[in-house]
Structure 1
Amino acid sequence: MFNDSKHAFDAAKTEYEAFMLDPHDWVPNNRTLPVVIYRRALSPKSGNLAAAFEILFEHNAWPSQWRNSIFDYHHFHATAHEVLGVIDGSAQVIVGGPGGRVVTIAAGDALLLPAGTGHCLQSFERHFQVVAGYPEGQQWDIRREALHPEEQAAMERLPFPALDPIDGKHGPLVEYWLHAA
């Protein structure tokens, strides 16, 4: 269990779903690593969710790099895996590129996107905001077109993070991602 003075993460209360995405048009998605949605990674009523996600991500070697919304255009990151902790509101996000899968996420949820996974904000309620974290040593980029073969190969060689951004040594990243290696 992760604790700070106001927030608690309890893996027993967090539910998650994992799913694979095939490449789609110009979006490579990730052929070996699933997208993971953590439901109620943090209680939405626990206070300052932004600070809580930042502390949690830092604790698990996924330091946060920004707070904002999700871009409302299709894009992906080829140079880093990404975790998004929802700190306010709710949204429908398209994952997988144009025509991809629509997922609903809300305050307290987190969305883990392996490198190459397309995503786009479709709609939102309230003041939708997220905190974004990336594995130590990885720097995100923004891609809106197909990768060249060398770029695709570099993306596929990205190292796997040693810890799950939400549950450290025991989460779905460890279960699904590290076993794919």
Structure 2
Amino acid sequence: MKDRDKASPGGVQTYRFKDDGTMPNHPFLPVLYYAGAIDEPARATVRFEASGWGNTWENGVYPYHHYHSNAHEALGVVRGSARLQLGGDGGRSLEVRAGDVLVLPAGTGHKRLSASEDFLIAGGYPGGAKYNVRTGEPDERHRDLEEIRLVPIPQSDPVFGPGGPLTELWRPDGR
């Protein structure tokens, strides 16, 4: 099965999370989960960069709730597996494994709950954006809510490039 077949818009799972008072989450864009979207997980950063999602890295996921108020984030599991919490304490726990990709809209809370010893994940940001790390501190909240709303919707899917599922599933009107 080709990569594109695995992550057609009908095959991408979407999750929406409301502002929980600490984790703002995105007001209208859903999290996108592409199960098994990358056949060569070790090349996740190459795939992201080829699709215009730069400032890539490989490492882990922080073990505490955090979000990025100034950038959307693509996460591709390079090896191993992990259980991640998305959307804050009241959100959703999701098991991810090598080849899976998550696309988190700006403001989406996430943290690592557990991981295999060999867990490695890659990250990338539209246009190579420099990202911040926020933890939901009350003095950041007002500024962050405005910043999240202003982050532009990417013109390219991090895995499939222009015309990929993200470009159909993320719309300015939230539909």
TM-score by length of 2: 0.89
Pairs within 5 Å for 1:4-153: 10-14=3-7, 15-43=11-39, 46=40, 49-50=41-42, 52-145=43-136, 146=138, 147-153=140-146
Task: Could you tell me which runs of 5 or more consecutive residues in structure 2 were left unpaired when the two chains were aligned.
Answer: none
Tell me: CA distance 1:179–1:80, structure 2 relative to 1, closer, same or farther (3 Å): closer
Structure 1 distance, partners of 2:135, 2:172, is 30
Q: CA deviation at 1:179?
A: 5.0
More displaced 10-residue stretch of structure 1: 160-169 or 27-36: 160-169
Deviations along 1:89-148, one digit per CA (max 9) or x if unpaired, are 011100001232001110000010000000010011231110100011521111112443
1:78 aligned partner, one-letter code: S
TM-score by length of 1: 0.86
- Contact between 1:60 and 1:165, CA under 8 Å: does it hold in 2? yes
2:165 aligned partner, one-letter code: P
Structure 2 distance, partners of 1:180, 1:9, is 31
- Contact between 2:26 and 2:148, CA under 8 Å: does it hold in 1? no
Q: Stretches of 4+ moved more than 6 A in 1? A: none
SS in 2 for 1:149: helix
Tell me: CA distance 1:90–1:137, structure 2 relative to 1, closer, same or farther (3 Å): closer
- Contact between 1:63 and 1:134, CA under 8 Å: does it hold in 2? yes
Q: CA deviation at 1:172?
A: 2.5
Q: Say whether 1:175 aligns with 2:168.
A: yes
- Contact between 1:37 and 1:109, CA under 8 Å: does it hold in 2? yes
Q: CA deviation at 1:150?
A: 3.1
Tell me: CA distance 1:140–1:152, structure 2 relative to 1, closer, same or farther (3 Å): same
- Contact between 2:54 and 2:129, CA under 8 Å: does it hold in 1? no
Alignment size in residue pairs:
169
Percent of pairs identical after alignment?
36
2:16 aligned partner, one-letter code: M
Structure 1 distance, partners of 2:51, 2:76, is 13
2:163 aligned partner, one-letter code: H
